[in-house]
Structure 1
Amino acid sequence: MHHEPTRRTVARVLPVSSEGKVLLLLGCDPALPEVRYWFTVGGAADAGESLAEAATRELREETGVVVSPAALGEPYGTFEVEFSWDGRRYVNESTLFAVALDETAAGPISFAGLDLLESQSIFDAAWWTPDDLDRDGRAVDPRLIDQMRAAIAHVRQD
């Protein structure tokens, strides 16, 4: 039986440090727990929620970092991705936001806001330069390196 993928409107946020590093999460698809990869903070917007509100809610839930939707400013990009996660197919229409965030001011990352499934699929958070992540080779999507560079340029207004 062929099922159409679930279409979602998604907000992703890339916190950028003054050193040109981006905060990413390390996780896996629960259906493939042995394959771990780095990805951006974010998720689907709830009904009636703006994309900026969704991005800041996801940032708070997934890292414990609190910023206001206004701090995000305008999005800097969009992309579509089709993928499988936990045995289901999805198509995400993703909007990218970047926010300047000092590594030390952000404080320790907390996963206390994760739901049960997320807590079984998100293991770590770390600050990465695009070049270091490119060398690491565990980006969830090959576009992530360019998205990180664009987020850094957007925050720096390059």
Structure 2
Amino acid sequence: MTAAATQRLCDVVLDDTIGRATPDVEHERAVAIFDLIEENSFEPVGHDSGPYRLNLSLIDAKLVFAISARDGETIATHILSLTPFRRLVKDYYMICESYYAAIRSSTPSQIEAIDMGRRGIHNEGSQTLMDRLDGKIRMDFDTARRLFTLVCVLHWRG
């Protein structure tokens, strides 16, 4: 198999510890997972026999990345504090609310300016995620963006 076929996620599961939310939020979570699986570059450091399954759970307000092989064999578990993401997620939701409000009543240039700010915060969160997983998981920036989207959706209760 090629590196593109093996250095990737083939499945992402949200553990029951994540909790359930409104139907709209559940839909957003499903879309975020679909987008992530559809296109990604993901490889646990020291392991090159993917594709991989990722199980996300919450333990003591920490995000747990449990990585396994396609056959279920455990590969690695990484635990991330959500503290470095709290401000970013809060800012991201505030600017998203502004963006959706602006769509209804603002000029295209105002909407574009708000959208640039939204993308900037999203990029910052994506880079923070990459930095926190550095030396543990190799991924490209687009995959980090999709994972950060999922982290944001996990915080969204609806």
TM-score, scaled to structure 1: 0.33
Q: Which is bigger in relative contact order (C-alpha 8 A, separation at least 6)?
A: 1
Higher helix share: 2
